Chains A and B, each alone.
Chain A
Amino acid sequence: RKEVEQDPGPFNVPEGATVAFNCTYSNSASQSFFWYRQDCRKEPKLLMSVYSSGNEDGRFTAQLNRASQYISLLIRDSKLSDSATYLCVVYRGNQFYFGTGTSLTVIP
């Protein structure tokens, strides 16, 4: 079973839409959780860390459910500039495990 699983998409949404991405992880000993954004042929950039209490940064909201081993990212009021691949990343034992990424295209 993969350490981190994501729906690869693609998600094609109109500007202004709300879109949600989900991710599951296989190892309950995983310690911390992140969403990264990756533009084509660029490095991953940290979008936000994910906490059990949920956290919000502007239009972005992340949630962690440790019991279900499930992480989510919600993007409200999508902008054209949100088009990218969103990577779910899990940290355990000094190693970061990456999902395959979910591709988002926001359409004018």
Chain B
Amino acid sequence: EPEVTQTPSHQVTQMGQEVILRCVPISNHLYFYWYRQILGQKVEFLVSFYNNEISEKSEIFDDQFSVERPDGSNFTLKIRSTKLEDSAMYFCATKIGGDYEQYFGPGTRLTVT
């Protein structure tokens, strides 16, 4: 069964450093999402991406965040200057379209020290 993959599985970085989290969506899926989940808290929407542009973003997704699909396969989330409070699981999710369900990747655990 096709699945969403994410790399790395765990990233440790120092405060102020840039990180790039990578996702490979299911091949025929057209809508892409990033979420974060701080330990013990709920899944929070960051951004949705369709047709090579952002379609929705939350107030969490400020200027330090960016997304792109540089080569038509990978979907990346960049955090420019990480803060301690960025420590969380980051999940990529994709869906085929419309009202269909989304499928999640296994997540990247980001630890900012």
A binds B: yes
The complex places the Cα of A95 from the Cα of B41 at a distance, in Å, of 19
Residue pair B56, A94 in contact (C-beta under 8 Å): yes
Q: A32-B99, A46-B103, A49-B101 are in contact. Are A95 and B42 (CB under 8 A)?
A: no
Name the A residues within 8 Å of B101 (CB-CB): 34, 46, 49
Name B residues whose Cβ lies closer than 8 Å to a Cβ of A: 31, 33, 35, 41-45, 48, 50, 55-56, 89, 91, 93, 99, 101-107
Q: What is the distance, in angstroms, from A82's C-beta to the closest C-beta of chain B?
A: 19
The complex places the Cα of A97 from the Cα of B91 at a distance, in Å, of 14
Of A32, A45, A96, which contacts B33 at CB under 8 A? A96
Q: A41-B89, A43-B107 are in contact. Are A99 and B99 (CB under 8 A)?
A: no
Residue pair B45, A95 in contact (C-beta under 8 Å): yes
The complex places the Cα of A2 from the Cα of B50 at a distance, in Å, of 26
Among A46, A94, A97: residue with most chain B CB under 10 A: A94
Give the interface SS of chain A, mostly helix, strand, loop or mixed: strand
The complex places the Cα of A98 from the Cα of B91 at a distance, in Å, of 13
Q: What is the distance, in angstroms, from A44's C-beta to the closest C-beta of chain B?
A: 5
Could you list some 7 contacts between A and B, CB below 8 A? A41-B89, A44-B43, A93-B56, A95-B48, A95-B56, A100-B41, A100-B42
Q: What is the distance, in angstroms, from B101's C-beta to the closest C-beta of chain A?
A: 5
Name the B residues within 8 Å of A53 (CB-CB): none
